[in-house]
Amino acid sequence: MTQLTALQQVSVTVHDLPRAVAFYKEKLGVRHLFDGGPRMSFFACEMGVRLMLAVPEKPEFDHKSSILYFKVEDIGAAHRDLEGRGVVFRDAPHVVARLPGWEVWMAFFDDSEGNLLAITNERAVA
């Protein structure tokens, strides 16, 4: 029986590829891998996952993406750094879940194409 165990690539719909590439490279600092012709560009995320920015080929592919959550070590520092690079956040870093021994923090923002993204951090608490 086939088991799907690893996510290799996520595609984010964009309409202005050069603008989106600049946003992910310059504002978010995601490592650019390569361009796939005039309609796609690929970026590296940890654990072998690729992020693909793509202009939709057909109308049925033209929709907002799922929310991408980027893990950061220090959410306060990441928030300040990204704001300094021109990223406009919808909210400040805040706790979204308090669990025994740890908390989950998030802050949400839009990319250059209107897709919702977030930075997230999990931290141990006493």
Query: φ, ψ for residue 97 (rounded to 5)?
Result: -155, 130
R_g (Cα) of the chain, nearest Å: 16
The answer to whether 65 and 22 are in contact (CB under 8 A) is no
102: which strand partners?
99, 124
Are 83 and 76 in contact by the 8 Å Cβ rule? The answer is: no
Q: What is the DSSP letter of 23?
A: I
Domains of the chain: 9-124 (3.10.180.10)
**Taking CA 53 as the corner, what is the angle to CA 49 and CA 59, rounded to the nearest 5 degrees?**
125
72: tokens are: 């950061």
pLDDT (tens digit, 0 to 9) for every residue of the chain, 126 residues total? 767 677 788 999 999 999 999 999 999 999 999 998 899 999 999 888 899 999 998 898 888 888 999 999 999 999 999 999 999 999 999 999 998 999 999 999 999 999 999 999 999 998
